[in-house]
Amino acid sequence: MTFRLGLTGSIGMGKSTTAGLFAEAGCAVWDADAAVHRLYAKGGAAVAPMAKAFPEAIEDGAVSRARLKSLLAQRPEALKEIESIVHPLVADDRADFLRQTTAQIAVFDIPLLFEIGADRWLDAVVCVTVAPEIQKKRVMERGTMTEAEFSAILAKQLPDADKRVKSDYVIETDTVEHAREQVQDVIADIEKKVRNA
């Protein structure tokens, strides 16, 4: 029986790095964002239904994120319909991953884990966190968004303090080494729980 561990955290908190540390330690990792990329790519399962509902979002046989962004800027109400197409496909992708994995621990990297209620089907949740000034510095150093865009993303996400309270484990990602030690502690704790179950 595979233990289902959710991994979440706000933007710039070090979630991708931590997911990599879990993979390095032998856990299977499923990434929600990567699943959406697969679905949107040429030949992906979301392309045909999205082309039918939003033909203007298709470019070169794939769903264009840039076109989706401008579509949503003009018609924010379209988000519900997009989600109704994409969310079930993401759920199918996740179910396929879980069916195929033989790992003792499967990590589900889901940015909006609590916001979409994914914690209901997980065995435990780990939240990554870091001081707000480090978080902001990391995001700004990427050079992909303005401070206003960063603030807008934070406003849509459950506050970090709330995520930490709702989680079974918290990993501070101030340094990679510190995060790696905490990942190993989490895995050891889960293995102990599984043995004693």
**Residue pair 5/124 in contact by the 8 Å Cβ criterion:** yes
Q: What is the pTM of this model?
A: 0.90
Q: What is the pLDDT of residues 83-102, one digit of tens each?
A: 999 999 999 999 999 999 99
Q: What is the pLDDT of residues 140-168, one digit of tens each?
A: 999 988 999 999 888 888 999 999 999 99
The mean pLDDT value of the chain amounts to 95
Domains of the chain: 1-27+104-197 (3.40.50.300), 34-102 (no CATH)
What pLDDT, on the 0 to 100 scale, is given for residue 109? 96
